[in-house]
C-alpha cells in the first residue's frame, strides 16, 4: 500500500514538473511573439543574426530529400488532427456510457499531441510569425526619398516600359508547334544562381539556397490558384508543377526569397523581379516582366477610371503575351478538374479566406491585396534608375 502511494506521489510530482516546463516554454514563445509585434527592430535583428542559422543547418538537411518534406509534414499533421478528433469522440462516448476515465494510451496520446502543438508553435514563431514584423525589405535597399507618392504619368511610363519589354521578349522565346514556350535549361538551378548573384549585392540574400521542390499534390494547390509555397516547418521553397512554364523562374525566386526572411509578398515579388529581370537569360527576363505586368496594367487601368477607349490609346499588350500570361493552360486545368475531389470554386474560396485572414492577423492590413503593392516598389526602383 505504501509503495503504491509513493508511486502515485512520484507520478504527481513528475506530471507537475512536466506541466510547469510546458507552461514556461509556452510563455517564453508567446513573449517572443509579443516583442516581435511591438518592436520591428527586434524582428530585423532576428532576421539578420538568428534566422539564417535555420536555413544553413536544418534547411540543408531537408534539402537533401528529393521530395517536399514540408508538404508531407502538412498532410501528416492533418491526419494527426483527424485521429485526435476521433480519439476525443471515443473518450466522450466512454465517459457517457461507462463513466470511464481516460486510459494510459489516451493520456500519453494527448500528452504527445500537446507537445507537438508546442513544437509547431515554436517553429511557426521562429520561421514565420516573427518575420511578419520586420521593416519592409524594400526600405532597406531603396533610397528613402523614393518612398513618395507617384503621379499617373509615372505609372504610365512604367506600364509602357513593361509592355514594350514583354512584347519584345515574347518574340525571342523558343516555342513548340502549339506556341507554348520551351526552355532547355535547368530553371531551378538557374533561379538559385540568380538569387546568389543578388546576394552579392544585398547582404540579407546571401547564403545557402536549396533547389525549389515540386508539390506532389499540385492539382489541389492549382485549385487554390497557388504558384508556390514556403513551408516554415522544413525551410523549403515549393512550386506548383502544373503551372505554365513562364511562371517558373519568377515563382522559384519568389519562394527562395522567403527562405531569407522576406515574408511580405510584395517584397518577395519585388526580389523575384530583381533576380529575374537582371539575369542574362531572356527566359528569366520574360518571366520577370510577366510576373508584375498584370499588377501594373491593372493599376494603370484603374488610373484611367477604367475607360476602355482611353486604355486602347496606349501601347497594347500583344496577343501572344496575353496567352503566355496564364496560370495554367487549358489542358492542365482539364487534368485538375478531372482529378479534383472538391470543386475548384469551393477550394479557391476557402483558400482565399484562409490566406487573407492569415495575412491580416499577422499585421498585413491589405491581406491578399498586398501582393499588388509591388507596383509602388517598381516605381521606387525605376525612380532610382532614371
User: Which DSSP string do the residues of 37-85 spell out, in sequence order?
Assistant: HH-HHHHHHHHHHTHHHHHHTHHHHHHTSSS-HHHHHHHHHHHHHHHHH
- Determine the pLDDT at residue 357: 62
Asked if pLDDT for residue 363 goes beyond 80, the answer is no
Q: Which pLDDT score is estimated for 350?
A: 64
315: confidence class by pLDDT, cuts 50, 70, 90:
very high
- State the cell numbers at 381: 526602383
Interval 276-292 mean pLDDT: 97
CB 143 within 8 A of CB 381: no
Q: Reply yes or no on whether the pLDDT at 103 is more than 90.
A: no
Q: What's the pLDDT at 353?
A: 66
Q: Decide: 246 and 282 in contact? Cβ < 8 Å.
A: no
The pLDDT mean for the chain works out to 87
Percent of the chain with pLDDT over 70: 86
Which pLDDT tens digit goes with each residue over 139-190? Answer: 899 888 888 888 999 999 999 999 999 999 999 999 999 999 999 999 999 9
Mean pLDDT to the nearest integer, 9-28:
81
- Domain boundaries in the chain? 2-133, 137-385
Give mean pLDDT, residues 202-224. 93
Query: Does 122 score more than 90 pLDDT?
Result: yes
Residue 217 grid coordinates: 499534390
Q: Please work out, in degrees rounded to the nearest 5, the angle formed at the alpha carbon of residue 198 by the alpha carbons of 363 and 59.
A: 65
Is the pLDDT confidence value at 4 over 80?
A: no
Q: In what order do the strands lie in the sheet with 228-231?
A: 213-214, 236-239, 228-231
DSSP per position, 282-334? HHHHHHHHHHHHHHHHHHHHHHTTT-HHHHTTSPPPPHHHHHHS-SS-HHHHH
Residues 218, 242: Cα–Cα separation, whole Å = 6
* Distance separating alpha carbons of residues 326 and 311, to the nearest angstrom: 21
Q: How confident is the model at residue 49 (pLDDT cuts 50, 70, 90)?
A: very high
Is it the case that residue 222 has pLDDT exceeding 70?
Answer: yes
pTM: 0.87
> Could you give the CA distance from residue 223 to residue 347 in angstroms, rounded to a whole number?
6
Please give the average per-residue pLDDT across 20-31, as a whole number. 94
Q: Give the model's pLDDT for residue 99.
A: 65
Contact 187, 241 (CB under 8 A): no
**Cα→Cα distances 48→30, 38, 202, 261, 351, Å:** 21, 18, 12, 8, 31
Residue 366 has pLDDT above 60, yes or no: no
User: What percent of the chain is predicted at pLDDT more than 90?
Assistant: 63
Task: Give the position of cell 527562405.
Answer: 259
What is the per-residue pLDDT for 370? 43
CA distance 359 to 355: 6
> 71-103 burial by CB neighbour count: b if 16+ within 10 A, else e?
bebbeeeeeeeeebeebeeebeeeeeeeeeeee
Sign of the dihedral defined by the CA atoms of residues 305, 310, 312, 314, in that order: negative
Tell me: pLDDT of 360 over 70: no
Question: Which residues does 4 contact at the CB level (< 8 Å), separation at least 6?
Answer: none
Specify the higher pLDDT residue, 168 or 345: 168
In this prediction, residue 355 carries a pLDDT of: 59
Amino acid at each position: 500500500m505504501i509503495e503504491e502511494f509513493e508511486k502515485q506521489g512520484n507520478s504527481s510530482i513528475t506530471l507537475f514538473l512536466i506541466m510547469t516546463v510546458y507552461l514556461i516554454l509556452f510563455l517564453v514563445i508567446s513573449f517572443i511573439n509579443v516583442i516581435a509585434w511591438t518592436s520591428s527592430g527586434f524582428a530585423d535583428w532576428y532576421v539578420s543574426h538568428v534566422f539564417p542559422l535555420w536555413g544553413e543547418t536544418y534547411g540543408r538537411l531537408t534539402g537533401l530529400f528529393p521530395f517536399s518534406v514540408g508538404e508531407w509534414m502538412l498532410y501528416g499533421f492533418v491526419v494527426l488532427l483527424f485521429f485526435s478528433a476521433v480519439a476525443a469522440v471515443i473518450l466522450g462516448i466512454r465517459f457517457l456510457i461507462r463513466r470511464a476515465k481516460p486510459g494510459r494510451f489516451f493520456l500519453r496520446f494527448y500528452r504527445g499531441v500537446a507537445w507537438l502543438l508546442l513544437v509547431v508553435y515554436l517553429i511557426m514563431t521562429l520561421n514565420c510569425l516573427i518575420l511578419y514584423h520586420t521593416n519592409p525589405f524594400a526600405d532597406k535597399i531603396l533610397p528613402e526619398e523614393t518612398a513618395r507618392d507617384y503621379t499617373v504619368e509615372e505609372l504610365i511610363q512604367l506600364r509602357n516600359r513593361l509592355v514594350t519589354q514583354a512584347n519584345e521578349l515574347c518574340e525571342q522565346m523558343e516555342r513548340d508547334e502549339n506556341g507554348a514556350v520551351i526552355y532547355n535549361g535547368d530553371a531551378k538551378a538557374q533561379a538559385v544562381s540568380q538569387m546568389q548573384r543578388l546576394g552579392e549585392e544585398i547582404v540579407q540574400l546571401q547564403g545557402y539556397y536549396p533547389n525549389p521542390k515540386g508539390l506532389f499534390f499540385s492539382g489541389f494547390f492549382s485549385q487554390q490558384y497557388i504558384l508556390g509555397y514556403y513551408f516554415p516547418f522544413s525551410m523549403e521553397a515549393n512550386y506548383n508543377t502544373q503551372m505554365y512554364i513562364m511562371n517558373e523562374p519568377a515563382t522559384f525566386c519568389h519562394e527562395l526569397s522567403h527562405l531569407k526572411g522576406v515574408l511580405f509578398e510584395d517584397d518577395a515579388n519585388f526580389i523575384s523581379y530583381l533576380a529575374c529581370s537582371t539575369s542574362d537569360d531572356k527566359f528569366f527576363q520574360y518571366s520577370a516582366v510577366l510576373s508584375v505586368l498584370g499588377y501594373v496594367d491593372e493599376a494603370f487601368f484603374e488610373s484611367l477610371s477604367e475607360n476602355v477607349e482611353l486604355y486602347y490609346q496606349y501601347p497594347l499588350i500583344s496577343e501572344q503575351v496575353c496567352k503566355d500570361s496564364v496560370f495554367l493552360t487549358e489542358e492542365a486545368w482539364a487534368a485538375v478538374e478531372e482529378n479534383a475531389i472538391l470543386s475548384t470554386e469551393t477550394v479557391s474560396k476557402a483558400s482565399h479566406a484562409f490566406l487573407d485572414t492569415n495575412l491580416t492577423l499577422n499585421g498585413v492590413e491589405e491581406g491578399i491585396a498586398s501582393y499588388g503593392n509591388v507596383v509602388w516598389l517598381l516605381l521606387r526602383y525605376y525612380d532610382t534608375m532614371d
